[in-house]
Structure 1
Amino acid sequence: MDNDDLRAILMFMLPALLFIILLLSKRKGKAKLPPSPPGLPLIGHFHLLGPLPHRAFHNISQRYGPLLRLSFGSKSCVLVSSPEIARQCLKINDASFLNHPHKTNLDYVTYDRSDIFMAPYGPFWKFMRKLFITQLLSPTTLHHHSPVRAQELKFFLHNLLKKADLGEEVNVGEEVALLAYNIVTTMAFRKRCSDVKSEGSQLVQVVKELIELGGKFNLADMGWLFKKLDLQGYRKILSTVRTKYDAIIERIIKEHEESRRTRRKDTHKEHEAERDLLDILLDIYENPNSEIRLTRENIKAFFLNIFGAGTDTSSLTVTWAMAELMNHPDIMEKARKEIDSVVGKERIVEESDIPNLPYVESIVKETFRLHPTGTMISRQATQECEVNGYVIPEKTSLIVNVWSIGRDPEYWEYPLEFRPERFMNEEGESEMSLKAQNFELLVFGAGRRMCPGVSLATKVVPTTLAAMIQCFQWKLPHEGDVDMEEKPGLGLPRANPLLCIPVPRPLPFLKL
């Protein structure tokens, strides 16, 4: 082939090549990916993370923008840090983000995603969601267990009163967590975890370990060889702790099954008043005609869900609220006056009082804004979609930084200050429902995968906080303010315990 032949071939191919390049450039233009900060080979943006990912992500967004594409090993994700873009992801494109990404530790803790939190969107998840809303945490069930919560609140205040009479300082986080666990274990299977001889106490300790393990970062989630090497040794640790949990919960289930057989023999006995959450699940487990047949693993995973969402969320929020109130005594006093005017001084505040305590509700909302126990919402794209003009490819993980959104100065005036009044309108009513899809305050998520435990949390948290304010004056055992440092964890735990000294108020009902 001479030069003239080669030139002729090139002249023929050149238009075709230009046409292909033009098509590719147009396709690339359509598939415009979100901007990405500079990364490193192999590890991507892993070096930008720190012990507190929500803070690290916040700093990244402050520098590079509210919608970013990040990579961690072979995994890619999209980071969202503004209410408007969160709305596009979790409302407009809700159908594209119905699954949670695989997390090695959480997958194992939840029995290979056989719970409502991690289960993939589909018939099982829909069935469990319906079960939560219509039975397990329905208004009827919550009302049925309201005496349990009221009694546990009295036990809690009684314990604080004993320590107050001795002049002892109180670890607020531990005391409130014990209350939350007592409520959940009693609602779940009629066992108070504060009884050291009961399996409830053992169960709580193991659940705490599982929740902590579930929140730890596992290098296996970066893909490649990390998945097989298990450099951090989590496989053995997870197996050991979950085996302990299995043994305890299995004994509780078998005990319930035996009790149910005994009750069935007594046809004259009223059973409904004794039914707890485990009874509801066992009814479905034993029903051959159930739409979905639950397994033992489903039941065990459910209780891990309700322990994680129903105890840590509540206790951490109340603790953060108390920490803020200790630094803002004027706000605490204003709340106390509201409680005294509405409830009076002859009885303990009740769940039914909360709608009439808008300032207390606003304190809770402001605590959720600054200290969200779910710092980030994690999802995975099940199909390609467009967000804010950018294409999000299928299987891309989504991280919505709730902690960062709560500090967005475009939506919040003086975002770093604790100001419950921001949620009050001119009529003195509390605005912005925690149950609605207000993307400036994404406390319980949004869309179809919004947390189903919101009804329980919105009863326990404000009532507990109001009772603590109503019944005691609180003092610090040291000079200065309470620190607001955080530490790593699945929720948003405090780095240092909140230690306070309760001083009983002269209320007729507050007696040992």
Structure 2
Amino acid sequence: MAAMTDTQYCFLCFILSFISIFLLKPFFKKPSKTKTSLHLPPSPPALPIIGHLHYLGPSLYKSLTKLSTKYGPLLYLKLGVSRCLVVSSASVANEIFKTHDLAFAERPSFPFSDKLPYGSSGFFVAPYGDQWRFIKKLCMTELLSAKQVEKSRVARHEKIVRFLLKVLESAKKKQTLDMSVEIMKLTNNSTFRLAMSMRSLDEPHEAERIRKLVKESNEVGAKACLGDMFGPLSKLAFWLYGQRAIDVTLKYDEILERFLKQHEEISNERENEDLMDLLLKAYRDDKSEFKINRIHLKAFLLDLFLAGVGTSAEVTLWTLAELINNPDVFNKVREEIKYEVGNTRLVEESDVPSLPYLQAVIKEALRLHPALPVVVRECREDCKIKDFDVPKKTMVAVNLYAIMRDEKIWDYPNDFRPERFLVSSKGKDGMEHIPFGAGRRGCPGEKLAFSMIQIVVAAMVQCFDWKVGREGDNVKVNMQVGPGITKPMAKPLICLPIVHFNPFTSSI
């Protein structure tokens, strides 16, 4: 069963859901007066038991966008036993993330989390309460603060230099590179150094192990979430993927526990503290407002890799693809870097504030290719959105992809036009461009992600021209999107790098 494909798994869930019509009597109970009196948002026609699941395809954001185009920006869906509110406009997103932010400060629980080693101890899935508020405060003041991002700049620079040297070597040999793999490795290695800056001979090996575990975790998580929609049949998801999810977490745990012990063996007052040092300091603080344990500590680091590695790499990859397909934009970025930085050194993070067009390019790439196209919340209490009732425990799916391609807001919404971010945004309420979500449960690592994406893209543009294809045929990049809860490329981005500027000539 472990080798079951996604298609086979979906088909099995679908068939069993229909069989359950004859077995699960609770589904056929008449709605109570309370439920029938609810004024719910518009809803497409539904099927028994599975509700609206048959409308969802391999790419969730595309399916939700299609439904919203037909039925409106606020929808009510029944996904198996789950209730879901779908939000696809900036004005409704403003209700969720601002007006009723506290009411939607919960996240849906992960399937069979009570059976996993870390349970709900992670920051991402933690219930809204003392633990979550404490970790959020710690993120904003210490772990992912502007000060910590600045302190980790040297580590990022080191990893970028190693990445560029590898690309230079391939360019000299006229060898193509799978940039999908190389950018993922760069992002992973940088996150690894940010979290655990201690150097060791096993660092490359350990970082690669974590990269593979991140990929496996995302695959298992997507399948488990699908199975969770079938109520009593959600046990099927655990039967098929539960042990695999446990095994992946235990592999993480072995790596993290070893590095924790190494950190504990050295002085508590290291000059350059990494995230693990800061977490250990909070862990040892008996006077803190919330006492975190060792599981909380490791679960946060796990969240960091899951949320930070794959998504930042995908956005960087999409940005490079857009630049290759839009050579005029590519050349404008290069000319801006040349004008501000010159042609004697490598562009650095400190240069980015003086590169407004580069920043506009990254914003436009994030608009078209958000790290997570759909963000989810859960309603903590009964409330009203646009005069519609939203019952407690309703899941809310905010379709960032649809919002940031809304033709009512954006001119030529599907075109790559960075210039739109060089003009004033006066008159907008701030929810039109939210690639990392918003509200109190918005991504706390937004600044770190921006810093990483901007400098990597700048360095790739400054140093290389990029020919697409295994022979460097200079064809356009295939922009087809693959299936998944994120927005991966359907095909690997294979490029032949051609040296334009070698910043290491004088030092090698």
Residues 336-369 of structure 1 show CA distances to partners (whole Å, capped at 9, x for unaligned) of 0011001111111111111111111111111111
Distance 1:29 1:341 in 2: 65
SS at match of 2:249: helix
205-214 or 101-110, larger mean C-alpha shift:
101-110
Q: Identity of paired residues, percent?
A: 39
Post-superposition offset of 1:195 = 5.5
Out of 130, 134, 140, the position equivalent to 2:141 is 134
SS at match of 1:378: strand
SS at match of 2:291: coil
User: In the alignment, which residue of structure 2 is the partner of 1:411?
Assistant: 409
Residues 65-111 of structure 1 show CA distances to partners (whole Å, capped at 9, x for unaligned) of 11110001111111111111111111111111000012317776682
Distance 1:241 1:281, change over 3 A: same
Residues 435-480 of structure 1 show CA distances to partners (whole Å, capped at 9, x for unaligned) of x972111111111111100110111111110110001111122353
Unpaired segments of 5 or more residues in structure 1?
A: 1-23, 265-270
Out of 443, 461, 479, the position equivalent to 1:469 is 461
Distance 1:456 1:107 in 2: 31
Distance 1:451 1:110 in 2: 24
Residues 96-142 of structure 1 show CA distances to partners (whole Å, capped at 9, x for unaligned) of 10000123177766822212211111111110001011111122222
Kindly report which structure 2 residues correspond to 1:159-198, keeping only aligned pairs within 5 A, or say none.
Answer: 159-190=166-197, 198=205
Post-superposition offset of 1:311 = 1.8
Letter in 1 for 2:65: H
User: In the alignment, which residue of structure 1 is the partner of 2:81?
Assistant: 74
Unpaired segments of 5 or more residues in structure 2?
A: 1-31
SS at match of 2:486: coil
User: In the alignment, which residue of structure 1 is the partner of 2:233?
Assistant: 226
SS at match of 1:377: strand
User: In the alignment, which residue of structure 1 is the partner of 2:158?
Assistant: 151
Distance 1:60 1:107 in 2: 33
Out of 242, 245, 264, the position equivalent to 2:249 is 242
User: In the alignment, which residue of structure 2 is the partner of 1:13?
Assistant: none
SS at match of 1:448: coil
Residues 349-404 of structure 1 show CA distances to partners (whole Å, capped at 9, x for unaligned) of 11111111111111111111111111111001111111112111111110010111
Distance 1:157 1:491, change over 3 A: same
Distance 2:59 2:331 in 1: 33
Q: Does 1:399 align with 2:397?
A: yes
Letter in 2 for 1:402: L
Residues 405-444 of structure 1 show CA distances to partners (whole Å, capped at 9, x for unaligned) of 1211001111111111111128xxxx69xxx972111111
Distance 2:467 2:242 in 1: 45
Out of 357, 360, 363, the position equivalent to 2:361 is 363
Letter in 1 for 2:169: K
User: In the alignment, which residue of structure 2 is the partner of 1:7?
Assistant: none
Q: Does 1:439 align with 2:427?
A: no
Post-superposition offset of 1:282 = 1.1
User: In the alignment, which residue of structure 2 is the partner of 1:458?
Assistant: 450
174-183 or 230-239, larger mean C-alpha shift:
230-239
Post-superposition offset of 1:506 = 3.9
Post-superposition offset of 1:182 = 1.4
Post-superposition offset of 1:334 = 1.0
User: In the alignment, which residue of structure 2 is the partner of 1:486?
Assistant: 481
Q: Is the 8 A contact 2:462 2:501 kept in 1?
A: no
Normalised by the size of structure 1, how large is the TM-score? 0.87
Larger Cα Rg: Structure 1 or Structure 2? Answer: 1
Q: Is the 8 A contact 1:185 1:192 kept in 2?
A: no
User: In the alignment, which residue of structure 2 is the partner of 1:351?
Assistant: 349
Q: Is the 8 A contact 2:382 2:392 kept in 1?
A: yes
Letter in 1 for 2:98: K
Distance 1:179 1:110, change over 3 A: farther
Q: Does 1:207 align with 2:202?
A: no
Normalised by the size of structure 2, how large is the TM-score? 0.87
Distance 1:228 1:395, change over 3 A: same
Q: Is the 8 A contact 1:345 1:507 kept in 2?
A: no
Distance 2:356 2:402 in 1: 25
Distance 1:355 1:437 in 2: 24
Post-superposition offset of 1:165 = 0.7
Distance 1:237 1:181 in 2: 22
SS at match of 1:373: coil
Aligned residues: 472
Letter in 1 for 2:240: G
Distance 1:109 1:499, change over 3 A: farther
Distance 1:28 1:210 in 2: 37
Distance 1:186 1:172 in 2: 21
Distance 1:65 1:104 in 2: 29
Residues 311-341 of structure 1 show CA distances to partners (whole Å, capped at 9, x for unaligned) of 2222111100111111111110111001100
Post-superposition offset of 1:55 = 0.5
Q: Does 1:276 align with 2:268?
A: no
305-314 or 197-206, larger mean C-alpha shift:
197-206
Distance 1:164 1:337 in 2: 22
User: In the alignment, which residue of structure 2 is the partner of 1:90?
Assistant: 97
Letter in 2 for 1:439: M
Distance 2:283 2:353 in 1: 37
Distance 2:49 2:330 in 1: 51
Q: Is the 8 A contact 2:184 2:309 kept in 1?
A: yes
User: In the alignment, which residue of structure 2 is the partner of 1:9?
Assistant: none
User: In the alignment, which residue of structure 1 is the partner of 2:3?
Assistant: none
Post-superposition offset of 1:219 = 4.2
Kindly report which structure 2 residues correspond to 1:412-427, keeping only aligned pairs within 5 A, or say none.
Answer: 412-425=410-423
User: In the alignment, which residue of structure 1 is the partner of 2:440?
Assistant: 448
CA RMSD of aligned residues (A): 2.4
Q: Does 1:320 align with 2:318?
A: yes
Distance 1:148 1:199 in 2: 17
Distance 1:181 1:327 in 2: 26
